[in-house]
Amino acid sequence: MAGVTNAPFRTLCREFAPGLVYVNEMVMATAVVHGNSKTERMMTFGADEQPRSLQIYGSDPVTLGEAIRKLCDADRVDHIDINFGCPAAKVTRKGGGAAVPAKPNLMRAILREAVAAATPYAVPVTIKFRKGLFDSLLTYIETGRIAVDEGVVAIALHARTAEQHYAGSADWNAIAELKAAVHEIPVLGNGDIWEAADAVAMMRETGCDGVVVGRGCLGRPWLFRDLVEALNGRPVPASPSLGEACAVMARHGHLLAGHLGENLAMRDFRKHTSWYLTGYPVGGETRRRFANISTLAELEDLIAPLDPTIALVAGGERIRRGHTNGPIRVALPDGYLDHLDDVTVPDDSHVMALSGG
Ligand SMILES: Cc1cc2nc3c(=O)[nH]c(=O)nc-3n(C[C@H](O)[C@H](O)[C@H](O)COP(=O)(O)O)c2cc1C
C-alpha cells in the first residue's frame, strides 16, 4: 500500500508473522527506468527480507519491461506484482491503472513484456486488479484469463469497481466467479478483511486460494499473526490492550525514524497514530495531540500517561481506516471506451506520485 508498506512497516509485520508475502509500496515503472531518489528509497528491503516483493505500475509495455529487467538484473527483487487497480483520477484519466484492463489487448501486451523481462531471472509476476471500471464494464474474468495465457503466476482481485473506489462492501461473489473461471494459477481475494475470521470466511465462501490484506492492517500489524493462527485452525489472540497497541506503535515509530530520519518520519507517522488509536476510547484531545507529533520523544510522552489496561471497544477491529470514500466519477481519456480493442499506450510518464490501488 502506497505510503504504508515501506521497509519499516514490513519489518514490523514480519515480527508478527514471518513467512508471509509483504508487498512493498507501488513504484512507477518510468521512475525505475530513469532513476529517482524517492523511488530508490521506496525500493529498500530489509537485510533479511524474503521475498523482496515489489509492486510496480506502468501502462507502457516497453517501459514496464525495461523497469523489470533493470530490477531483476541488479538482483533487487524476488517477486513483481503489477497494479492494474489504481483508481486515482490522474492515472485513469491517462488510461493507466484501473483503466488498462478495459483494453484487453493493451493489457496482454504489458503482461507479455513483463513476464518476458522477469522470466530469465526466475522472478515470478503476479497482478492485482479490480472488478472493472464500473458495473457496466466488468473485466475481471477476462483479465484473469489473459493473465493465465501470458504466464502470470497468481492473480489478486480487489472485489470492487474503480467507480466504487473504497465504499461499500467488497463483492466476494466476484472472487468466487473468478476462482471458478481460473483453475491454472492461484486466485487471491481482496476486500474487507478486517479480522482473521474474515480471511477464513472469504476462503471458505469463495474457494479462493489465499487473501490479500488492505486496510485491515493499518494500525493493526498483528492481524497477520492472527491470520496465521486462524488459517491453521488455532485460536486467535484477543485484540491488544491500549498498552500493548501503544508498544507496537512506538516500535513502528522508531523503525520509521531509522528509515526516513526522525523529522520526516514523525510527520508521516501522524496518520499511523490515528490508526493505532482507532477503537480505543482515549478522547479527541489525545488523538489530536498524537496527530501533531514532530519527534519520537513527543510520541513517547503522549503514550506514557495513557491507561495501558484500556480495552478496544466491541467491534473496534472493524472500524474502517485509510480510504473510505466513494463512489467516484472515473476519469478517462476522451473517447477511451469507443475502441476497447486498440493498443494505444497511455502517456502516463509524468504521473510520479500516486495513491495506490
Ligand atoms: C492508503 C492505501 C494505499 C493503498 N495503496 C495501494 C497500492 O499501492 N497498491 C495496491 O494494489 N493497492 C493499494 N491499496 C488498496 C489495498 O491494497 C486494497 O486493495 C483495498 O484497500 C481493498 O482491500 P480492503 O477492503 O481490505 O482494504 C491501498 C489502500 C489504501 C487504504
Nearest to 330 by CA among 117, 86, 42: 86
Mean confidence (pLDDT) of the chain: 95
Average pLDDT rounded to a whole number, residues 70-98: 94
Q: Label residue 66 by pLDDT band (50, 70, 90).
A: very high
Average pLDDT rounded to a whole number, residues 7-14: 98
Give the pLDDT confidence score for residue 344 in this predicted structure. Answer: 80
Give the pLDDT confidence score for residue 129 in this predicted structure. Answer: 98
Beta carbons of 34 and 42 less than 8 angstroms apart: no
What number of helices (H) and strands (E) belong to the chain?
14, 9
Give the pLDDT confidence score for residue 345 in this predicted structure. Answer: 82
The pLDDT tens digits of the residues spanning 126-160 come to 999 999 999 999 999 999 999 999 999 999 999 99
Judge if pTM exceeds 0.85: yes
The pLDDT tens digits of the residues spanning 176-194 come to 999 999 999 999 999 999 9
Mutate to test the pocket of ligand 1, among 24, 215, 274, 324 (most ligand atoms within 8 A of CB): 215
Beta carbons of 239 and 312 less than 8 angstroms apart: yes
Distance separating alpha carbons of residues 89 and 93, to the nearest angstrom: 6
What is the residue with the minimal CA distance to atom 8 of ligand 1? 356
What is the residue with the minimal CA distance to atom 14 of ligand 1? 357
Cite the DSSP H helix spans in 21-103: 29-34, 37-42, 61-73, 89-92
CA of 190 to the centre of ligand 1 (A): 9
Count of Cβ atoms closer than 10 Å to residue 68 Cβ: 29
323 lines ligand 1 (CB under 6 A): yes
Give the pLDDT confidence score for residue 202 in this predicted structure. Answer: 98
CA of 56 to the centre of ligand 1 (A): 14
